Structure formats: structure tokens, C-alpha cells
């Protein structure tokens, strides 16, 4: 029987995976991440009943290319940490000033629906939190319309996002009034699960999209773009290319939200910072 605990990934195998992950997903894979990669891929080895990393390498890169396994490998190497209303100031800013101002100034929401994009949405908490804020605003504003799109490279997180079923403790950060309105409890209380209500789910679409793909196909522009805690995994050159693409997909006057340790400081793009990690396209 294979003892996975002692299994080590040889350097040449690591280098091959690291190169592939970096070019395909943009995710930096320096040698310091070897232990992390090893432990994440061990889970794949275990479920496939393989006894060495070389066998796994053959499976992923061997002739015929196991496409399904490449997807599962990507699922295993991405970091999907997220929360409902993570970095809550961003949602407050939308609720308390940005949405009203975009409506007053441009008519966005009435003249045309506000399009919101959560890029790197993971299991959907960010996209649903955005939908709650917009829905609350819509209920107070006659004729207001919005749509939310969540995209991610990982197929398995998108499956969770589409289902909209979460452990009840995960909705702790959601304000009580929104919890009551936007979540249903599972009939079997012992399961401790909640589900996003269908009315909210129907305003949120999810699709798979690799942000580092040369020219990803995404129609039109967005008024509000969240790309938080994604850029940190990429090298500066990859960040630069991606930020230019995000810029092209943002309406002039629209807002870009980044994660707490991400900044546009070293990038030459016409954005004006309006709050911590909140930027406005200004051109």
C-alpha cells in the first residue's frame, strides 16, 4: 500500500508542473511553493490510487493529454478562500454612495441595467453578496435593474457557486435582515445547510473563464468590477496584462475593486483611487 505521507515530488516533476501552472493559470509557482504543491497534488494521487508523482505527471502530460485531469489539477492548485461580505467596506461604499451616484450621474440601473462582474469569484459568496446589495437598492428604486456575473478558472468552485448551498456558519457575516430574506434553511435542520433563494440566484450567472487566457471572450463592459485577491497570485507582467484587459471591460466612470493587499500603484492606467483598494476608471 502506498504511504502518501512520505511521498516526495522530484524536482524535475515539480518544475514541469510549476511551468505549466504558471503559463496556463498565471499562478506563480516558485520553488518555495513546492511543499504546498506536493500536498495539494497528493490528494489527486490518493483518489487516483497512484503511487508516484511521476505516474501523475504521465497522466496529466502524457500522450492524449488527460483533459479532465488537467481541470482537476487546476481545482487542486487554486486557493479559493472567500467569505460573504469579505472586506465589508467595499459593500458599504456601494450601498452608501456609489450606486446612487452612478444612477444620478449616468442613469445606470434605469437607462440600462448595471452589470457587475466578480472576476475570480470562487464559490460564489462575493457574487451573492453583491447581488444582495444591488437587490436591496433595486427594491427602493423603481425601474432599477442589475445583473451579476461570477467567473473563475476552477470548475468545482463554480459548481458550488451555481448550487448556492452553504454551511450555515458561513453566512455569519451576512447581516441578520439579509440572512432572513435571502437564505432558506434545509428541511433537515441537522444538516446545517442554507441555500440562496431562487430570486437572487436568478440574477447571478456563473461561467468558467481563465483571466490569463490571451483573449478571453466576454461580451461588453461592466459598471462595477470586483477582482479581489486574485492578482496577488500572479507575477507583475501577468498582472499588467490582466489589468489592461479589466480596464477594457470597465465602463468609463465605473469602479474597480481590488483585494486588501493589491494596488494599482505601479501600473500606468487612468484610474483614480477613491477609497482603499477602490479605483474609478477616469478617461
Residues with catalytic annotation?
A: 40, 152
**225 touches ligand SAM by CB under 6 A:** no
Residues 6+ positions from 84 with CB-CB distance below 8 Å: 125, 126, 128, 129, 170, 171, 173, 174
Burial of residue 77 (number of CB atoms within 10 Å: 0-12, 13-18, 19+): buried
Q: What is the DSSP letter of 96?
A: I
Integer CA distances (angstroms), 235 to 29, 40, 242, in order: 10, 21, 11
**246 touches ligand SAM by CB under 6 A:** no
Stretch that binds ligand SAM, among 29-37, 73-81, 168-176, 247-255 (CB under 6 A): 73-81
**x-or-dash string of contact with ligand SAM, 140-179, rule CB under 6 A:** ------------xxx--x----------------------
Window 83-142: residues binding ligand SAM (CB under 6 A): 86, 120-122, 126
**259 touches ligand SAM by CB under 6 A:** yes
Q: How many CB atoms lie within 10 A of CB 100?
A: 15
Q: What is the DSSP letter of 108?
A: B
Distance between CA 59 and CA 169 in Å, rounded? 38
Three cell numbers written together for 76? 487542486
Three cell numbers written together for 122? 470562487
**239 touches ligand SAM by CB under 6 A:** no
Window 16-55: residues binding ligand SAM (CB under 6 A): 25-27
Q: Which of 79, 156, 205, 221 binds ligand SAM (CB under 6 A)?
A: 79
Q: Kindly state the smallest distance separating residue 223's Cβ from ligand SAM, in Å.
A: 18
Q: Which of 72, 178, 224, 230 binds ligand SAM (CB under 6 A)?
A: 230
Window 195-214: residues binding ligand SAM (CB under 6 A): 210-212
Distance between CA 246 and CA 224 in Å, rounded? 11
Return the SS3 of 170: helix
Q: Which of 20, 56, 59, 82 binds ligand SAM (CB under 6 A)?
A: 82
Contacts with ligand SAM by CB under 6 A lie at 25-27, 78-82, 86, 120-122, 126, 152-154, 157, 210-212, 228-230, 233, 259
Amino acid at each position: 500500500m502506498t504511504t502518501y505521507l512520505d511521498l516526495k515530488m522530484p524536482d524535475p516533476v515539480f518544475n514541469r508542473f510549476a511551468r505549466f501552472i504558471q503559463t496556463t493559470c498565471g499562478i506563480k509557482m516558485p520553488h518555495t511553493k513546492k511543499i504546498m504543491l506536493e500536498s495539494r497534488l497528493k490528494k489527486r494521487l490518493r483518489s487516483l490510487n497512484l503511487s508516484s508523482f511521476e505516474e501523475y505527471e504521465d497522466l496529466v502530460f502524457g500522450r492524449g493529454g488527460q483533459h479532465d485531469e488537467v481541470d482537476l489539477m487546476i481545482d487542486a492548485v487554486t486557493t479559493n478562500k472567500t467569505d460573504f461580505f469579505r472586506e465589508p467596506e467595499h459593500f458599504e461604499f456601494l450601498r452608501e454612495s456609489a450606486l446612487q451616484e452612478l444612477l444620478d450621474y449616468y442613469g445606470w440601473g434605469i437607462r440600462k441595467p448595471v452589470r457587475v462582474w466578480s472576476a475570480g469569484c470562487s464559490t460564489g459568496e462575493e457574487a451573492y453578496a453583491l447581488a444582495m446589495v444591488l437587490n436591496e437598492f433595486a427594491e427602493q428604486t423603481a425601474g432599477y435593474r442589475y445583473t451579476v456575473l461570477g467567473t473563475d478558472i476552477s470548475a468545482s468552485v463554480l459548481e458550488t457557486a451555481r448550487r448556492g448551498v452553504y454551511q450555515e456558519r458561513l453566512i455569519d457575516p451576512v447581516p441578520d435582515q439579509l440572512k432572513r430574506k435571502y437564505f432558506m434553511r434545509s428541511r433537515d435542520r441537522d444538516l446545517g445547510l442554507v441555500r440562496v433563494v431562487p430570486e437572487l440566484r436568478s440574477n447571478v450567472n456563473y461561467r468558467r473563464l481563465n483571466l490569463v487566457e490571451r483573449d478571453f471572450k466576454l461580451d461588453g463592459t461592466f459598471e462595477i468590477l470586483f477582482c479581489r485577491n486574485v492578482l496577488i497570485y500572479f507575477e507583475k507582467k501577468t498582472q499588467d496584462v490582466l489589468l489592461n484587459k479589466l480596464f477594457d471591460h470597465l465602463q468609463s466612470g465605473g469602479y474597480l475593486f481590488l483585494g486588501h493587499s493589491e494596488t494599482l500603484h505601479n501600473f500606468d492606467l487612468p484610474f483614480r483611487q477613491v477609497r482603499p483598494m477602490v479605483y474609478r476608471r477616469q478617461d
